[in-house]
């Protein structure tokens, strides 16, 4: 198992760039464990340790070969944007409850994809890029319940 350290600065000008760097890294590896700590000082930031291993290649079923990801906010209708806002509120509350950064729960692209696709089952969630067994086990029922309520 390997480890990589990231600093996620909380200032607006750096936050998105720092998150993008982590997001890119996360697509290339298999996360084994994470640890976070908020560092307060001249520059406030989240210290993020990612314990990881090389991504293993599994033989995928044909229907699992391509996962869907919506990366452009402008692709969403107004109703989908409203759903996205509900999902972001849920993520924010979950972040506070769990004491972890929001991006560690779900990335914006994952929430946009959920808002666009409106999955109705765990099987539908599996088609979304970023949703594997662990994320579905942790947050899948919350997300499906939220979508059914809206």
Q: What is the pLDDT of residues 81-134, one digit of tens each?
A: 999 999 999 999 999 999 999 999 999 999 999 999 999 999 999 999 999 999
Which tens digits make up the pLDDT trace of 34-66?
A: 999 999 988 899 999 999 998 776 555 434 458
- Cβ neighbors of 83 (< 8 A, separation 6 or more) are 114, 115, 118, 147, 150
**pTM for the whole thing?**
0.57
**Bridge pairing between strands 2-9 and 29-39:** unpaired
> According to the model, what pLDDT value does residue 13 have?
82
> According to the model, what pLDDT value does residue 90 have?
95
> According to the model, what pLDDT value does residue 65 have?
53
């Amino acid at each position: 198992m390997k480890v990589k350290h990231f600093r996620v600065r909380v200032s607006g000008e750096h936050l998105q760039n720092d998150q993008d760097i982590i997001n890119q890294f996360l697509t290339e590896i298999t996360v084994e464990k994470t640890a976070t700590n908020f560092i307060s000082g001249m520059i406030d930031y989240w210290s993020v340790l990612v314990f990881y291993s090389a991504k293993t290649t599994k033989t995928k079923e044909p229907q699992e070969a391509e996962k869907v990801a919506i990366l452009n906010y402008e692709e969403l209708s107004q109703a989908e944007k409203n759903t996205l806002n509900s999902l972001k509120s849920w993520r924010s509350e979950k972040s506070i409850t769990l004491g972890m950064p929001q991006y560690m729960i779900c990335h914006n692209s994952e929430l946009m994809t959920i808002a666009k696709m409106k999955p109705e089952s765990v099987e539908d969630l599996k088609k979304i890029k970023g949703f594997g067994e662990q994320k579905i086990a942790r947050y899948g029922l919350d997300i499906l319940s939220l979508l059914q309520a809206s």
